[in-house]
Structures are given as C-alpha cells and as structure tokens.
Amino acid sequence: MVSKRNLPTLIRIFSYSILAITFVFLLNNVLTVWFEWPGIKKLFSHYGLFGFKKLSKPLEDSILTYSYIQLFLYFISILFAVFYVFKSIKQTLETDAEILTNFTAYIIRSSFWAVFIVGLADLLVSFMVVEKLVEPIFGEYLKIKLVVPSFRITYIHFPIILFSFVIGYFTRTVGFIWLAVLVVGSEFFIVISRFIFEYEQAFQGDLVRFWYSALYLFASAYALMHEGHVRVDVLYTGFSERKKAWTNSVGSLLLGIPLCLIVLFLGMGGKASIINGPVISFEITQQGSNGLYLLYLMAVYLAVFAVSMLIQFTSYFMGSSYKLLKN
C-alpha cells in the first residue's frame, strides 16, 4: 500500500527505472545499428505480438537468442534500479537529485570540450586539404585518407571525443560563455577574411553552424539546471513554494520526460532514422571535401540534448517531490 513513508522509495524506483531503461535502449541501439543484432522489434514480429506483423520467414535460433538477450537487458536494468534504491535506502530524494544534476553537468561539460576541440581539429584538417598542404607535410597516403569520411572520423574525431570526456571529468566549469564568444569570433573572422583578404571557404561557415547548434542544444539542460527556461512568470512567480514544487514535478513527469523519450525513440527508431541515419553513413557537409566532416555529429546533438534533458528532468522531478514530501 502506498503511504507517505514509502512514497520516496517508489519515486526513486520509478525515476531510476526510467534512466536504466533509457540506457539499455541506447545500448540496444548500438548493438542493432553497429553490430547487426536483430533488436526486440524483430522478436515481437517473430511471434506477431503487440501489433507487429508476423515475419514471413521466422528468425533463426541463433538470431532469436540475440533478440531475447536484448529484451532481458530491459528487465535486468529495472532490477538493477530496484537493487540500487534498496541498497541506498537512507538516501533522500534531494541527494538523488543532486547526483543526477552533477551527472548532467558532466555530460554537457564533456560535450562542450568535444565540439570545441573536434571543431578546431577538423577546421585545421580541412584547411590543409583545401590549400593542398597535406601531401608536402604528411605524404600522399594521408592526402588520400584525410578526404575519406570514415578515416577522418574514426582516427581523428573519435579519439578527441573520448579524450573530451576525460577533460570533462577533471574540469568543473561549463564553457558556454566561451562557446558563444567563439561563435561570434568565427563570424567576425569570416567577415574579415572575406572583405579584407578576399578569402572564404565552406569550412568557415560549417564551423559557425557546428558550434552554434551545440550552444543551443547543450545549453538547454544547463538552463534547466539553473531554472533559466522561460515560464509563464506572471503566474509562476506568484505561486507558493509548494505550488511551484507541484508545477515542476507534474511538468517534468507529464511533459519534460515524455518529450525526451519521444526524441530518442523516434530519432533512433531504425537505421534510417534522423539520428542513426547520418551517424551510420558518416554524413558530412554538402560542400564535399571543402567543408567540415561534422554533419553526423550535429545529428548526435539531438541524442545528447534528449539524454541530458531527460536526466535533468528526472532530477527536477525528484527534487520537487522531496520538497512536497518534506512539507
């Protein structure tokens, strides 16, 4: 029976289960898209369950096993969430909210460093390719390879992204102000180079778009952390603390969390979806080798946005629930 005494435990189980299921969804997406695992959709189609049309050719036993593994991962994630809650039974909702907020800050910190360093690195490579400086400095092999998207992304972008998450662990500030300055500086550089030096290349505009879109999407979770999003302030500012807590908890539960889940489920619903498609094909700029090879990362921005906002909305829900139960 639900009572005020056990309600915090139920809220914790619910919240951590959402995050655990989301993590398994992302893991299964990687297994399905990159490692050719069948996914649970094919498992349901194999048996004709939940409205899925039954497959004309049943799955082989070995493939069916992989589907079952992917399905069981969801149940294991929920059990893990329940185990964690009862292991830390004395932990308050306020502490949980703080932990999740710190994790959100880590994600967006690391993402900032990733887009900053990857943007500069790819700008340098594209400049050398356009100005034909690669062969005299590094040889013919790299001259050929650096215009191949899979090579540049695998051996330049991915290591930088991994290193950025190490930097994000050891830093404690979020550099959105610096990123905004960099966007303005990049635009200023384009103007100077165009009208004074009569020099302009596609990669210059690509860098501005790359950084600007990151600034908008990554800063969304940061703004939520500091209550910087626009509300109907004419009403909200007049609310009591209890009404504000009700508004935040219900809004997070009914609007914020579902929105983030929809973005993830639709964006990663298949290999041709809006997030998976550009990443699988290593989609680059429409300007060919004259531009930056970063268009696929701008699709990843949506996933980072949805995940960081989901974690922060969950933190918001738990923190607001703590205030309601405390009062």
SS (H, E, C) the chain: CCCCCCHHHHHHHHHHHHHHHHHHHHHHHHHHHHCCCCCHHHHHHHHCCCCCCCCCCCCCHHHHHHHHHHHHHHHHHHHHHHHHHHHCCCCCHHHHHHHHHHHHHHHHHHHHHHHHHHHHHHHHHHHHHHCCCHHHHHCHHHHHHCCCHHHHHHHHHHHHHHHHHHHHHHCCCCCHHHHHHHHHHHHHHHHHHHHCCCCCCHHHHHHHHHHHHHHHHHHHHHHHHCCCCCCCHHHHCCCCHHHHHHHHHHHHHHHHHHHHHHHHHHHCCCCCCCCHHHHHCCCCCCCHHHCCCCHHHHHHHHHHHHHHHHHHHHHHHHHHHHHHHHC
Q: Please provide the average confidence, as pLDDT, over all residues in the chain.
A: 88
Residue 304 to residue 115: CA distance in whole angstroms: 12
Position 1 pLDDT exceeds 60: no
**Percentage of the residues of the chain whose pLDDT score is greater than 70:** 94
Please give the residue that has the higher pLDDT: either 233 or 314. 314
Contacts of 171 (CB under 8 A, 6+ apart): 109, 113
- Of the ranges 99-103, 177-181, 282-286, the best mean pLDDT one: 99-103
Within 13 A of 40's CA, how many CA atoms are on the CB side? 17
- pLDDT score at 191: 85
C-alpha pair distances (Å), 55 with each of 51, 271, 326 = 12, 19, 53
Work out the pLDDT band at 24, boundaries 50, 70, 90. very high
Contacts 24+ apart (CB under 8 A), 21-30: 21/74, 21/77, 21/78, 22/261, 22/264, 22/307, 22/310, 23/77, 24/73, 24/74, 24/76, 24/77, 25/264, 25/265, 25/268, 26/264, 26/268, 26/303, 26/307, 27/73, 28/70, 28/73, 29/268, 29/276
Q: How far apart are CA 41 and CA 46, in angstroms?
A: 9
- pTM of the predicted structure, to 2 decimals: 0.90
Contacts for 102 with CB less than 8 Å, ≥ 6 apart: none
Position 286 confidence tier, pLDDT thresholds 50, 70, 90:
low
Confidence (pLDDT) at 5: 78
In this structure, what is the dihedral angle of CA atoms 236, 241, 244, 250, given to the nearest 10 degrees? Answer: -170
Highest mean pLDDT among 28-32, 145-149, 170-174, 240-244: 28-32
Q: How far apart (Å, rounded) are the C-alpha atoms in residues 163 and 175? A: 16
- Per-residue burial over 82-91, b if 16 or more Cβ lie within 10 Å, else e, is beebeeeeee
64-68, 151-155, 293-297, 316-320, range with the lowest pLDDT: 293-297
Whole-number pLDDT of residue 248: 86
Higher-pLDDT residue of 23 and 53 is 23
Q: What is the pLDDT of residues 220-276, one digit of tens each?
A: 888 888 776 666 666 777 778 888 888 889 989 999 999 999 999 999 988 889 999
With contact defined as beta carbons under 8 Å apart, do 109 and 171 qualify? yes
**How much of the chain, in percent, has pLDDT values that exceed 90?**
46
pLDDT digits (tens, 9 = 90+) for 101-156: 999 999 998 998 999 999 999 989 988 988 889 989 899 999 899 888 889 999 99
The pLDDT assigned to 232 comes to 60
